Amino acid sequence: MLGHNGAGKSTTFGLISSQIHQSSGSIFLEKKKKSKYDDVMVSTGICYQEDTLWKFMSPSKILQIFSYIVPNCKTNETNFMFETLDIETQLKTRKFENLSGGNKRKICMSVCLMGSPKIKLLDECSTGLDPISRLSMVNTIKMQNDGCTIFTTHSIP
């Protein structure tokens, strides 16, 4: 989804992910109405616009925790995410709160993509990324070409 500030991109994601209660209309994922798609949400990766991860943990620890929680997560997926998103070795052990905005986005996106979810919702995931990192992000998403990817942005990488 491409649109200017205030166009409703993040609100749409909030409605899809049940973070915002809808007042009318219907939302369907995999042909299931929103009220019945809890099982679909298990195979959905979400990267919110805000950096919502634990600020006092290191990226390594954050991805390790999610590797245990996320269904279908492979043993080496944490290292794969660090490599494909070009996250430098010295950043893996820093506290999340001490990372640059772009590196925080990379970690949040890594969590979203773990386990190769069928549905990927990426809200402003390229904000704060330099052009090379944006290209890396696009290539990582393309590698997970099964399923559906919806992302919001102000600019197309």
The string of DSSP letters for 61-86 reads HHHHHHHHHSTT--TTHHHHHHHHTT
Query: How do the domains of the chain map onto residue ranges?
Result: 26-152
Q: Is the pLDDT of residue 157 over 70?
A: no
Q: Which two tokens stand for residue 42?
A: 């298990």
Task: Specify the pTM.
Answer: 0.75
Which residues, 6 or more positions from 31, have their beta carbon under 8 angstroms from its beta carbon? Answer: none
Please list the residues that pair with 46 across neighbouring strands.
Answer: 121
Q: What does each C-alpha distance from 104 to 24, 56, 95 come to in angstroms?
A: 35, 13, 10
Indicate the average pLDDT of the chain: 75
Predicted local confidence at residue 37, as pLDDT: 55
pLDDT band at 154 (very low <50, low <70, confident <90, very high): low
Per-residue confidence at 132, pLDDT binned at 50, 70, 90? confident
What mean pLDDT is predicted for residues 123-130? 77
Tell me, which fold does domain 26-152 have in CATH? Rossmann fold (3.40.50)
CB 76 within 8 A of CB 97: no
Q: What is the mean pLDDT of residues 110-122?
A: 81
The pLDDT, as a whole number, for residue 44 is 75
What was the pLDDT predicted at 35? 60
Which tens digit of pLDDT belongs to each residue from 45-103?
778 777 777 888 888 888 888 777 777 777 676 776 777 666 666 667 778 888 888 78
Give me the pLDDT at residue 9, please: 77
- If phi over 0 gives left and psi between -120 and 50 gives alpha, with beta otherwise, what is residue 155? beta
Distances (CA, A) of 70 to 78, 79, 103: 12, 15, 21
Report residue 20's pLDDT band, with 50, 70 and 90 as the boundaries: confident
Q: What are the backbone dihedrals phi and psi of residue 119, each rounded to the nearest 5 degrees, phi first?
A: -120, 130
Q: Which residues pair with 110 in a beta bridge?
A: none
The proportion of the chain whose per-residue pLDDT surpasses 90, expressed as a percent, equals 0
Q: Is the pLDDT of residue 123 over 70?
A: yes
